[in-house]
Amino acid sequence: MQIFIKHNKTLTYNVEPEMFVKDLHKLIGTREHISQEYFFLVHNGKIIESGKLSDYKVEKDSTIHVNIRMVPVYQ
């Protein structure tokens, strides 16, 4: 199924409902060149972290937002 990933722009990903969130997270990190510890995913206002996409009711043409974590800078 096709879903949309919104970061700086909207991208299209082809995934399966039974895909694990961690695998999508890894795929986005690789494709967008973002280290995995620096972003998290949000769908319908909820952070998605574990389990399968279907657990979060991710369906065809759903949009998942990529949010960058704030990283503290120490001097």
Task: Say if residues 57 and 3 touch (Cβ distance below 8 Å).
Answer: no
Query: Looking at domain 2-68, which CATH architecture does it have?
Result: Roll (3.10)
Q: Look at residue 18 and tell me whether its pLDDT is greater than 70.
A: yes
pLDDT at 24: 96
pLDDT at 2: 97
Query: Distance of alpha carbon 25 from its chain centroid, rounded?
Result: 5
pLDDT at 48: 95
Q: Look at residue 75 and tell me whether its pLDDT is greater than 70.
A: no
Residue position matching structure tokens 């795929």:
27
C-alpha dihedral (10, 15, 18, 19), degrees to nearest 10:
-80
pLDDT at 70: 80
Domain boundaries, the chain: 2-68
Please compute the mean of the pLDDT values over residues 45-52 and round it to a whole number. 94
